[in-house]
A and B are shown apart, each in its own frame.
Chain A
Amino acid sequence: MTLEIVKPGLATSVQDLGRPGYFHLGIPEGGAMDRFALRAANMLVGNPEDAACLEAVFMGPEIKFTADTTVAVTGGEMPIMVDGEQQQTWTSFAVKAGQTLSFGFLKSGARIYIAVSGGIDTPPDLGSRSTYPIGALGGIEGRAVAAGDVLPIGAGTAASAGRSVPADLRRGPSNPAELRVLPGLYWHRLTEAAQASFFDDTWTVAPEADRMGYRFKGGRPLELVDREPPFGAGSDPSNIVDGCYSYGSIQVPGGTEPIILHRDAVSGGGYFTLGAIISADMDLIGQLQPNTQVKFVRVEMAEALKARAQRKAMLQKLREELM
Chain B
Amino acid sequence: MAQIQSPLPGTFYRQPSPEEPPFKSAGDAVAVGDTIGLIEVMKTFIQVNAEDPGTFKAYVAEDGAPVMAGDVLAELDG
Contacts and interface: CB of A to CB of B under 8 A. Distances in A.
A14 interface: no
A106 B9 CA distance: 8
A62 B6 CA distance: 17
A58 B43 contact: no
Interface in B4-27: 5-11
A4 B11 CA distance: 30
Nearest to A106: B69
B5 A290 contact: no
B42 interface: yes
A58 B9 contact: yes
Given A58-B69, A59-B69, A290-B66, A207 B40 contact: yes
A208 B43 contact: yes
Contacts of A209: 42
A11 B43 CA distance: 12
Contacts of B44: 10-11
A210 B43 contact: yes
Name which of A58, A210, A291 has the most chain B CB atoms within 10 A of its CB: A58
Contacts of A186: none
A208 B9 CA distance: 11
Interface in A84-123: 105-107, 110
A82 to B, nearest CB: 20
B60 interface: no
Nearest to B43: A208
B48 to A, nearest CB: 11
B68 interface: yes
A289 interface: yes
A57 interface: yes
Given A106-B69, A290-B66, A59 B42 contact: no
A57 B40 CA distance: 14
B8 A208 contact: no
Contacts of B8: 10, 58-59, 106
Contacts of A207: 10-11, 40-42, 66
B46 interface: yes
B70 interface: yes
Contacts of A11: 42, 44
Contact of B66 (A10, A208, A210, A291): A291
A261 B70 CA distance: 29
Interface in A8-31: 10-11
Interface string A284-302: 0000011100000000000
Given A105-B7, A290-B10, A291-B9, A58 B70 contact: no
B42 to A, nearest CB: 4
Given A58-B41, A105-B69, A105-B70, A290 B9 contact: yes
13 contacts: A10-B8, A10-B46, A58-B69, A59-B69, A105-B69, A106-B8, A106-B69, A208-B41, A209-B42, A290-B10, A290-B11, A291-B11, A291-B68
8 smallest A-B Cβ distances: which pairs?
A105-B70, A291-B66, A58-B8, A106-B69, A105-B69, A210-B42, A59-B8, A289-B9
